[in-house]
């Protein structure tokens, strides 16, 4: 049953309204504006029938306060008043009332107006609920999309950024270089004789070597440099704002560090080496050409003895 709050201080008016509404609604009565505002907060009704002439504040002020109070702000208010001047009716709507009925009123008309407002309010509440559910689902979806996006950029085994993410980083770096006229350096690193490690010690050992290799790489570069897994045992390093010579020196240092830190696996010490191919960004060079240059250098390094840093000039 819908709850109706009558706000009136005339006993005969109250009785008349109660008799009319009691069978279809749960009726409560407030006799002053103050009481109406308090009751609407404590026991929120579905609709308020508000007399304009009240002993403390008038119905217009009461309505203003009801609309300013969070708990009662959305409750439909129908003014019931013997004031029939246009100005009073207009004021009733201005202070937030939804309807205004002039006394003496037709009982059926009042009930129909009330039902119409109650129906509107139910639809509004349903819609509000619906929007809330949609917003919650939206938030959950956003979270899932972010997670999928993160996963799509990360290499599962090493936790490094993957090829896709690195390609975006290189593109961004190219744009930065174009804007600021600075160059940067790329290096592709490939572990030497890695297949032998898998064949000799097993795939798990190969995975372990890869992780060890990655931690050496990460510990050897600056925090502004990027390390990604480019392929199986191939890694791409991006050195922003770094010239070729400087990049070459950095790679040489990493290469030596790899040489000096054998991997320990199940008590065995496994030495590894790696070959580096380097290229430097030049204006108007495309990303594919830049990567191919580093790849060509790496290929040259593999062909001419491995365990070295080779530079490709473009």
Which whole-number Å values give the CA distances from 28 to 63, 88, 91, in the listed order? 17, 25, 25
* Cβ nearer to Mg ion, comparing 117 with 254: 254
* C-beta of residue 243 within 8 angstroms of C-beta of residue 278: no
Cβ 173 to Mg ion, closest distance in Å?
26
- In angstroms, the CA 96 to CA 63 distance is 7
203 lines the binding site for ligand GH3 (CB under 6 A): yes
Handedness of CA 150, 155, 159, 160 (dihedral sign): negative
* C-beta of residue 81 within 8 angstroms of C-beta of residue 102: yes
Can you list the alpha helix ranges (DSSP code H) found in the chain? 11-21, 33-42, 59-68, 86-94, 107-151, 163-180, 194-201, 203-220, 244-260, 287-303
* Residue 247 CA from chain centroid, whole number: 38
3-state secondary structure of 80: strand
The verdict on whether 233 is a catalytic residue reads yes
* Cβ nearer to ligand GH3, comparing 194 with 226: 194
3-state secondary structure of 27: strand
**Interacting stretch for ligand GH3, rule CB under 6 A, among 37-45, 112-120, 133-141, 190-198?**
190-198
- In angstroms, the CA 227 to CA 57 distance is 72
191 lines the binding site for ligand GH3 (CB under 6 A): yes
Cβ 218 to ligand GH3, closest distance in Å?
17
- In angstroms, the CA 256 to CA 187 distance is 15
Question: Binding to ligand GH3 (CB under 6 A): which residues in 225-264?
Answer: 232-233
**Interacting stretch for ligand GH3, rule CB under 6 A, among 4-12, 145-153, 159-167, 202-210?**
202-210
Backbone angles phi, psi at 131, to 5 degrees: -60, -40
Cβ 297 to ligand GH3, closest distance in Å?
14
- The secondary structure of 161-182 as a DSSP string is B-HHHHHHHHHHHHHHHHHHT-
210 lines the binding site for ligand GH3 (CB under 6 A): yes
Cβ 197 to Mg ion, closest distance in Å?
10
Q: Which does 157 bind (CB under 5 to 8 A by kind): Mg ion, ligand GH3, none?
A: ligand GH3
Size of the site for ligand GH3 (CB under 6 A): 16
3-state secondary structure of 262: coil
Q: Which does 203 bind (CB under 5 to 8 A by kind): ligand GH3, Mg ion, none?
A: ligand GH3
Cβ 299 to ligand GH3, closest distance in Å?
9
Q: Which of 51, 173, 233, 234 is catalytic?
A: 233
Question: Binding to ligand GH3 (CB under 6 A): which residues in 143-172?
Answer: 157
Q: Which does 155 bind (CB under 5 to 8 A by kind): ligand GH3, Mg ion, none?
A: none
* Cβ nearer to ligand GH3, comparing 125 with 195: 195
In the complex, which residues of this chain contact Mg ion (CB under 5 A)? 190-191, 194, 233
Cβ 131 to Mg ion, closest distance in Å?
56
What residues line the site for ligand GH3 (CB under 6 A)? 157, 190-195, 198, 203, 206-207, 210, 232-233, 302, 306
Active site amino acids: 233
């Amino acid at each position: 049953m819908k709850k109706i709050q009558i706000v009136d201080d005339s006993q005969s008016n109250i009785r008349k309204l109660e008799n009319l509404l009691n069978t279809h609604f749960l009726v409560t009565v407030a006799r002053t504006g103050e009481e109406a505002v308090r009751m609407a907060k404590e026991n929120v009704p579905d609709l308020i029938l508000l007399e304009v002439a009240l002993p403390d504040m008038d119905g217009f002020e009461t309505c203003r306060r009801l609309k300013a109070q969070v708990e009662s702000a959305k409750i439909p208010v129908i003014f019931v008043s013997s004031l029939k001047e246009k100005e009073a009716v207009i004021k009733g709507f201005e202070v937030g009332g939804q309807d205004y009925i002039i006394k003496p009123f037709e009982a059926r008309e009042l009930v129909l107006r009330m039902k119409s407002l109650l129906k509107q309010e139910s639809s509004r509440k349903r819609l509000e609920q619906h929007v809330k559910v949609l917003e919650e689902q939206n938030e959950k979806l956003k979270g899932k999309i972010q997670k999928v996006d993160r996963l799509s950029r990360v290499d599962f085994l090493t936790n490094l950024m993957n090829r896709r993410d690195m390609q975006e980083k290189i593109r961004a770096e190219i744009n930065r270089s174009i804007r600021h006229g600075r160059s940067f350096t790329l290096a592709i690193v490939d572990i030497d004789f890695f297949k032998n490690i898998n064949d000799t010690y097993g795939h798990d050992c190969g995975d372990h070597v890869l992780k060890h290799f990655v931690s050496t790489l990460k510990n050897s570069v600056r925090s502004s440099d990027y390390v990604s897994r480019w392929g199986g045992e191939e890694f791409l390093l991006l050195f922003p704002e770094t010239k070729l010579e400087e990049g070459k020196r950095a790679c040489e240092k990493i290469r030596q560090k790899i040489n000096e830190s054998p991997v320990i696996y199940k008590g065995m010490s496994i030495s590894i080496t790696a070959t580096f191919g380097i290229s430097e960004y030049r204006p108007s060079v495309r990303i594919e050409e830049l990567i191919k240059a580093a790849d060509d250098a790496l290929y040259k390094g593999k062909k001419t003895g491995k365990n070295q840093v080779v530079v490709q000039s473009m």
